[in-house]
Amino acid sequence: MNIHAAGEGARRREEILALIGQEPVHSQDELLALLRKRGFRVTQPTLSRDLRELGVAKTPAGYVAPGSLATVTQISAFTLREDREEKVNRLFRTSVLSAQAAGNLVVVRTPVAAAQVLASAIDSARLDDVLGTVGGDDTIFIALATSSAAAAMARHIQQTAGIAPARNSR
């Protein structure tokens, strides 16, 4: 048994984890080139075996170490921000009956059974200042960081949905 080779494999695997932790690496070819730049003599089959032994996962954002998988959010996080926002805006246009700011909340009314779908899309879109949503059957509470952010969100929803601002019924 070649003791030096065993030590080399451990150092190489440590370097693999360091590389994928520092920057997005999207392919084995890319990782192979980075390792060779750092002086490692490695073949593609050896690299493939190292990745399997380390439990490294390949995601749309690149390779991820097993301990980092907990920090990877839903697959929608890998969708372009513009695409996520467009999906939400499309749902605003088709599903919103009214939207009104109340403090740092926005109360959104939808047709029956549409609130959960819209609330989930808002959560997945990770919109600025949105802290989270609570969706019922036909009503959503959107919690925002500030009351001014809530007012801006209510205006955006109203404009996108093509509805008039809600009037207070006092």
- Region for residue 129 given its phi and psi (left: phi exceeds 0; alpha: psi -120 to 50; beta: otherwise): left
Estimate to the nearest angstrom the gap between the alpha carbon of 143 and the chain centroid.
19
The residue with tokens 């980092």 is: 68
| Residue 55, pLDDT score | 84
Question: What's the pTM?
Answer: 0.53
Q: Which DSSP symbol is given to 167?
A: P
The residue with tokens 């919103």 is: 96
The one-letter code for the residue type at 32 is L
CA angle 155, 157, 158 (to 5 degrees): 65
User: What are the structural domains, with CATH classification, of the chain?
Assistant: 3-72 (1.10.10.10), 78-161 (3.30.1360.40)
Determine what percent of the chain is predicted with pLDDT higher than 70.
85
* CB-count exposure of residue 41 (10 Å: 0-12, 13-18, 19+): exposed
Residue-level pLDDT, tens digit, the chain, 170 residues: 334 456 788 899 999 998 988 888 888 999 999 999 999 999 999 999 999 888 888 777 788 887 665 444 444 445 667 777 888 888 899 889 999 999 999 999 999 888 888 888 898 888 889 999 999 889 999 999 999 999 999 999 999 999 988 665 44
Phi, psi for residue 132 in degrees, rounded to 5: 160, 175
Q: Which DSSP symbol is given to 166?
A: P
Distance CA 32, CA 27 (A): 9
3-state per-residue secondary structure call for 37-63 = HCCCCCCHHHHHHHHHHHCCEEECCEE
| Residue 167, pLDDT score | 64
| Residue 72, pLDDT score | 46
Strands 139-144 and 130-135, sheet pairing: antiparallel
Distance CA 80, CA 61 (A): 11
